[in-house]
Amino acid sequence: MSTLRILHVDDEVALTTIFQIVLEGSGRYEVREESCGRRALDTAREFRPDLILLDKEINGMNGEEVAAKLQEDPTLRGVPIAFVTGGVTRDEAAAESVPTLPKPVSPSELLRFVDDLLNFNACVGSEAK
């Protein structure tokens, strides 16, 4: 089974490091970190992620602006985007039109959120048949 690529864009370096440790530690994901919204676009084009996790409040360009630019790019348009942000409550996150995980987040919540977005469990089940 190959690993899936995740681009995590957040200007909290300690948080991106923790996300990378948790996600790569699962053995299912390869994570690239970016701390600047403007650079995230170039990084996404080069890295070709399977999922992009964005904070809504990042340096250079906010997460919603980054998401809009990603959707304008024909090579990135189909890549799923989710927000991981401290700007919403759990109830507000559930009502968002884009998948949103509120901070703070536990390692198990992060893995469950990403697995659900990438249908990891469904893929594992189909491989076993």
According to DSSP H, which parts of 1-106 are helical?
13-25, 37-47, 63-72, 90-95
CA distance 20 to 59: 20
Residue-wise pLDDT for 4-32, tens only, equals 999 999 999 999 999 999 999 999 999 99
pTM (predicted TM-score) = 0.89
Residue ranges of domains in the chain = 4-128
CB neighbour list of residue 4: distance below 8 Å, 6 or more residues apart: 28, 29, 30, 50, 51, 118, 120
pLDDT in tens, 95-127: 999 999 999 999 999 999 999 999 864 444 444
CATH architecture of structural domain 4-128: 3-Layer(aba) Sandwich (3.40)
